[in-house]
Structure 1
Amino acid sequence: MSGFSPAFERLGAAYAAVAAQQQEVLAGVLPANGDWTTDLASGTYTKGDVTLHVALVGSFAEKDRSWLWGWANPQFGPEHPAVLNPRPMGSRLGVPEMTTRELDLAWYDGPAQNGGELVAAVTNGLLGLSGTISGRYDGGVAYFAVRDPAVPGTVWDSIAAPRLITDGLSLFPADHRLTVLRFFSHHRLPYRQTETSITAKLPDGGSCVARFDDQDRLTDLSMTVSGR
């Protein structure tokens, strides 16, 4: 059973697949190996010969498996220019996780590395950022949001779409239909929906059909390629 609030679960369902695709784009920009450094005074992250503008999202402490927002960290504070502060948006949307300074994530036992990874991913998707970078420190993992125009956005990929959506559902299974709808709308695909399906028109003229059972769980995702 999830320890996240229903509001956070819905955000996760909406943005898990979107954020996962953006992570893959970011991975193609950063070197696969090499040392990394961060300079929060200038808000930069450097790995190899690549330097990106970042902001601290928060950190996950491995000892007690808790999350501390960057804006709540006494070393920085909510007004620090290199700290991401989603608290105002979280307040408007009624998401308690984004307005609570520290989160107990000891309950999480799922496919992600830890619960903090999910918090960072949902924040990235909600704010439309360019991905999240994790960095280990003694006792935990820090998460940095990339906000740099050097990292491109995502484009529709018919081959990757089923995997991305399925992976998103494995992380946030609360609303399968929302996951599919948000992924289609993120890519600006015109779509129509019925009680049992959502059909999107693809950029090449083909279509993608998502089918659901009587409990609105995704059962099938199929592509039709344009014959033109």
Structure 2
Amino acid sequence: MSGFSSAFERLGAALAAVVLQQQETLAEFLPREDWSADLTARTYASGGVSVRVSLLGSYAARERTWLWGWANPQFGDDHPAVGPTMVIRRLGERLGIPEFTTPEVDLSWYEGPAGHGGELIAMAAGGVLGGGGYIGAGYDGGSAYLHVDDAQAPPAPWDPVPVPRLLMNAVSLFPHEPRLTLARLLSHHRIPYREADGRIELRLPGGGGTARAHFDGLGRFVDWEAELSPAAL
């Protein structure tokens, strides 16, 4: 059973596929080579590419806890790299999401498919902020998570082909509302859709064809059908 709050689970479900797609786009843009970061200057550099970042928080591997940047005594909420992320805490206060308002989140219970529970908090936080995605920057004892806030990082384009894979991967991480996960991905790309009994139907833009996602009586994603025209490939 998940130790996350229902409010966090619902938000994660809404954002997961959008975030995973953006992460794939970021991976193509930003080389994962030797890296350096200057959080006061809000810069992260890797493989000759430098981007502006902000600090979400960090995951401590031994303690299995997530510490928000604003709660870290080395930074605080007025640090240049932390200030842009404070919208996350305000959203948590407004929507009652304790994972966004608790300074240090205990994740020792997490045994799910992600590497650790901090990855899911970083996903949800990055999804709230939008932008270019997030970076897990490893250090001795854990990982710092940075949000890419830079216009040169390209947004993920609409592509119907990976949608079922994105949906399945997103649902493996946030499994409670697959229909919401798909609906939010489609809305993000401004793709019109129609919800019918047990399915979501969409007509792909530019005459690209049609697609249907099927869900069982418990709301679980079970199948994807697509009829793609050459314009969609």
Work out which of the residue numbers 211, 214, 217 in structure 1 matches 2:214: 211
The root-mean-square deviation of aligned C-alpha atoms, in Å, is 1.3
**C-alpha spacing 1:48/1:227, structure 2 compared with 1 (3 Å):** closer
Which has the larger displacement, 127-136 or 49-58? 127-136
Match of 1:73 in 2: 72
Taking only the aligned residue pairs, the percentage that are identical comes to: 53
Give distance in 2, aligned partners of 1:49 and 1:133.
Answer: 16
Match of 2:37 in 1: 38
Give distance in 2, aligned partners of 1:227 and 1:97.
Answer: 44
Q: How many residues align?
A: 227
The one-letter code sitting in structure 2 at the alignment partner of 1:14 is A
Give distance in 2, aligned partners of 1:139 and 1:31.
Answer: 23
Give distance in 1, aligned partners of 2:148 and 2:218.
Answer: 37
Cα distance per residue 1:8-44 (max 9 Å; x no partner):
0001111111100000110011124x21010011000
Give the Å deviation of 1:222: 1.5
Give the Å deviation of 1:146: 0.4
Match of 2:154 in 1: 152
The one-letter code sitting in structure 2 at the alignment partner of 1:62 is A
The one-letter code sitting in structure 2 at the alignment partner of 1:225 is L
Match of 2:8 in 1: 8
Give the Å deviation of 1:204: 3.3
Q: Does 1:92 pair with 2:91?
A: no
Match of 2:48 in 1: 49
Give distance in 2, aligned partners of 1:50 and 1:227.
Answer: 35
| TM, length-normalised to structure 2 | 0.94
**C-alpha spacing 1:222/1:139, structure 2 compared with 1 (3 Å):** same
Match of 1:20 in 2: 20
Cα distance per residue 1:65-119 (max 9 Å; x no partner):
0000001111111121211221011111221110110100011111111111110
Gaps of 5+ in 2: none
Q: Does 1:222 pair with 2:221?
A: no
Q: Structure 1 segments of 4 or more deviating over 4 A?
A: none
Gaps of 5+ in 1: none
